[in-house]
Amino acid sequence: MESTPAGEARLDVAISIARRHGAALTLLQVLGRGFETGCDIDALLAAEAAAQALKNRIEREGVRAEWQSSPRASDVGRIYAKQADLTILGRLDCQGVPDVPPESVVLASGRPILVVPGEGPFETIGRNVVIAWDGSREASRALRDALALMVPAPAVTVLCVNPAEAGLDCPLSAVIDYLRDRGIHAACEEVTDHDQSIAATLLARCTDLQADLLVMGAYRHSHLREIVLGGTTRQMLQDTTLPLAMSH
């Protein structure tokens, strides 16, 4: 958690979600190298004071909060995210130092993440939702994990880009039925667009629909393949313009 405009926007989102669900927040401060040996006492005390100020602010909003710290960014996904119902992160270019790559957290933890880009403001989360659907196990997991963020959502669109190529094992109609059984009424939409990437098509449609949340599975293909060749997950994590809920 860093004291920047983007960090403040993420904190506002976290407080809003926690208040809606009666949840508690854990502020995780990644201290970075130099703190592992505890040698920089003044900097450590300053970090603790800043974290305590944030904790006090959150509690004034009526939300329970605690503070933890870690010297290593890798511990976010390896340890802390595994203990959370949802980990809220910034888009990689919107974070402070040291960076905590969202992709490493969602892969290492097996838990959902919410990526919040830029400075916002993000006045609503989950009131106008787009679910990216390709019939994959990852998409199914993301849909289930994001249910709490979508209830009650007055507008939900299940969107499949280039359906002829997706090889849908689970058709859109089944997703609509699944959501209806859980009190969520959704529309379905298929978009065929070979002139731009799937990620660009998703973001453009989210803009058209004025969506405030995009839900999608992470890394249907292997992580290594996406690093080498590029892929939808990596592009979304780099370019998303709205809060992005992801699961793997």
Q: pLDDT digits over 168-198, tens only?
A: 667 888 999 999 999 999 999 999 988 999 9
128-247 has the same fold as 5-116: yes
**In the CATH scheme, what architecture does the domain 128-247 have?**
3-Layer(aba) Sandwich (3.40)
Task: Look at residues 92, 86, 110, 106 and name the one whose alpha carbon lies nearest to residue 14.
Answer: 86
**What is the pLDDT, as a whole number, of residue 230?**
46
SS3 140: helix
CATH superfamily of 5-116: HUPs (3.40.50.620)
Domain positions in the chain: 5-116, 128-247
Residues in the chain: 248
Question: Cα 244 to chain center, whole Å?
Answer: 5
Q: How far is CA 178 from CA 39, 224, 236, in A?
A: 54, 32, 26
**What is the pLDDT, as a whole number, of residue 34?**
55
E strand or H helix at 65: strand 65-70
Residues sharing a CB contact under 8 Å with residue 195, sequence separation 6 or more, in sequence order = none
- Give the mean pLDDT of 78-103: 82
For 25-72, the pLDDT digits (tens) are 998 888 765 555 555 677 777 778 888 888 888 999 999 999 888 878
Number of helical (H) and strand (E) elements in the chain, helices listed first: 11, 9
For the cut 70, the answer to whether the pLDDT of residue 96 exceeds it is no
